[in-house]
Structure 1
């Protein structure tokens, strides 16, 4: 049996927090959390991300509206908008090699920036939880992403990947069950048959979890939820938005 490990125990306790106390997040705490985020791995050390910390109540209210009316975006002490950011790379190319064509529009560079932002955000999330704070990621930032970009005055080649509510928890939700490890971990080759064989049991687990969470109002299987998700037309504006921001996907 593995010895207790406080870092792993912290990770295994993660849950999304949507209710926060009135306690403010001090500037020094915010900076400590974001600094920890910066220590995440980064492709070729490009560090292709930026984060906008929104504390202004009116700006948070507007962002909550743009995210689809998610009240906790307005109610959390700090709302972090994690952005993929290639503008620094373009500026560097303009400074040192203006005679050469830069390739900031390559799909690979878009992937690098998006992954960099996600890695930094997750590092920050773990740091926040280690300090007693809670977070919830907000993909709804992409619902009306052009308006979010305008509100936050984002330059070209910067786009919001997701938002993150940050504050001190005023709830203790149950940890949401994850897929069985056997459905995720493959050794030496991808074993689809083995992985898929664990989905029925996971459906049963999630039906029970959802039923308890909703007091019997819903009891939908996870695979059914995923079928609904993949057949829905989700944010079809994203391709045009990204192109207009300079992410040409070449």
Structure 2
């Protein structure tokens, strides 16, 4: 197995970083890796903001209730971005673009573009011996995040990526088995999936009981059912629409 596959298969989220910055040449490399990502129709409908201002990092940490947003080597905010595409357009072209990018299709394109770029960045960072942790909880207060970074219309924050020199080594969490996520030619029956999920529950229960910290009795299906029972952020949908995304 080559080094690339080893890096991918040994992924683990890191939430404790050493108090040291990422070297400039390493940062350039991981940004270049993100820029090299696949993109739909050559739109590259995303942007990244490197957050180096300590006050802004503290505010993001408070919004997300995640201290490792401020305590890391570098933090990157990923954005869905169609503002760039209108900078050189004529007034008439801007009107057409502004209408079209409000579709669900264009919203999905921007979200997927940003996600692919972020995963390229994550893999590049891990290949250099750095650790990463995705941060989705910035969406708890999208209005404040929007204000903090002066984001124009047609630009919305999606998630963050904390990067740094690891100060811990977590166990690798079990992932759903191949037969539970990869199907050929048709979607499986509920009966088939039930069997796979029961087996995966046994694996995750053993993992939680045997790991070195925060041991507990838990199963994956129990976790996700509880998670999906929780009411989500009611402000998110109107915020996205106000920013001229996903309106039709």
Q: Do both share a fold (TM > 0.5)? A: yes
Q: 1:247 aligns with which of 233, 245, 248?
A: 245
Match of residue 219 from structure 2: 221
Q: State the Cα deviation string for residues 174-209 of structure 1 (Å, max 9, x = none).
A: 011000111011011111343332101111111122
Match of residue 22 from structure 2: 25
Match of residue 234 from structure 2: 236
Match of residue 79 from structure 1: 75
Aligned-pair CA distance for 1:23: 2.2
Match of residue 144 from structure 1: 141
Match of residue 161 from structure 1: 158
Structure 2: distance between partners of 1:29 and 1:121: 15
Aligned-pair CA distance for 1:39: 1.0
Match of residue 113 from structure 2: 116
TM-score (norm 2): 0.93
Shift in CA distance, 214/146, structure 1 to aligned 2, threshold 3 Å? farther
Aligned-pair CA distance for 1:60: 0.9
CA RMSD, aligned part only? Answer: 1.8
Structure 2: distance between partners of 1:10 and 1:106: 37
Shift in CA distance, 208/91, structure 1 to aligned 2, threshold 3 Å? same
Match of residue 171 from structure 2: 174
Of 33-42 and 89-98, deviating more is 89-98
Aligned-pair CA distance for 1:57: 1.6
Aligned-pair CA distance for 1:78: 1.1
Q: Is the 8 A contact 1:182 1:194 kept in 2?
A: no
Match of residue 210 from structure 1: 208
Structure 1: distance between partners of 2:96 and 2:114: 27
Q: State the Cα deviation string for residues 12-65 of structure 1 (Å, max 9, x = none).
A: 000000111122112332121011011111000100000111122222111100
Structure 2: distance between partners of 1:31 and 1:95: 36
Q: How many residues align?
A: 246
TM-score (norm 1): 0.92
Structure 2: runs of 5+ lacking an equivalent = none
Aligned-pair CA distance for 1:97: 2.6
Instruction: Say if 2:43 is the partner of 1:46.
Output: yes
Shift in CA distance, 189/141, structure 1 to aligned 2, threshold 3 Å? same
Q: Secondary structure at the match of 1:50?
A: strand
Of 37-46 and 205-214, deviating more is 205-214
